[in-house]
């Protein structure tokens, strides 16, 4: 799933390492026994950072991302997270709309932050949501 979306996908070992850390929080969406999407974040004190969110290409465009993010943010609030941070490619329109709908506001810009498959660099926006 991760490799369907990102030029530099994380490999199985990286996921294994993250999932073994107590700080890592995650939710997944399943249909007919197959994972359709997932979200991972890392909690430190009363803050969390969303590490990745991805839906299978066939599951995109139907609003499932809202369900996944709502469930995840609700869980983070329950375990004491007050602020959530993330980075997103400034050209990723679906992700920007998704985050804006769930209360994320833009707080910064990282020019040339992402390496693209074609060798170019894309700018990241940093965003923050207040869960209190």
Ligand X SMILES: CC(C)(COP(=O)(O)OP(=O)(O)OC[C@H]1O[C@@H](n2cnc3c(N)ncnc32)[C@H](O)[C@@H]1OP(=O)(O)O)[C@@H](O)C(=O)NCCC(=O)NCCS
The one among 88, 125, 127, 131 contacting ligand X by CB under 6 A: 88
Q: Of the ranges 23-31, 72-80, 92-100, 105-113, which one interacts with ligand X (CB under 6 A)?
A: 92-100
Nearer to ligand X, 101 or 110 (CB): 101
Which residues, in sequence order, are bridge partners of residue 94?
Answer: none
Q: State in angstroms the smallest separation of the CB of 5 from ligand X.
A: 3
Q: What is the 3-state secondary structure (H, E, C) of 60-119?
A: CCCCHHHHHHHHHHHHHHHCCCCEEEEEEECCCHHHHHHHHHCCCEEEEEEEEEEECCCC
Report how many residues bind ligand X under the rule CB under 6 A: 19
Of 48-87, binders to ligand X (CB under 6 A) are 53-55, 60-66
Pairing relationship of beta strands 24-31 and 34-44 according to DSSP bridges: antiparallel
Footprint on this chain of ligand X (rule: CB under 6 A):
5, 53-55, 60-66, 88, 92-95, 97-98, 101
């Amino acid at each position: 799933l991760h490799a369907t979306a990102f030029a530099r996908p994380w490999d199985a070992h990286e996921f294994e390492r993250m999932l073994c850390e107590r700080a890592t929080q995650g939710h997944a969406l399943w249909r007919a026994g197959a994972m359709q999407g997932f979200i991972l974040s890392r909690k430190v004190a009363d803050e969390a950072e969303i590490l990745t969110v991805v839906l299978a290409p066939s599951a995109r465009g139907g609003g499932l991302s809202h369900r996944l993010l709502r469930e995840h943010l609700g869980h983070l609030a329950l375990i004491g997270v007050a602020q959530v941070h993330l980075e997103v490619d400034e050209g990723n329109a679906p992700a920007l709309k998704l985050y804006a709908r769930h209360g994320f506001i833009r707080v910064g810009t990282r020019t040339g932050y992402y390496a693209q498959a074609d060798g170019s660099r894309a700018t990241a926006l940093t965003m923050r949501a207040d869960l209190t």
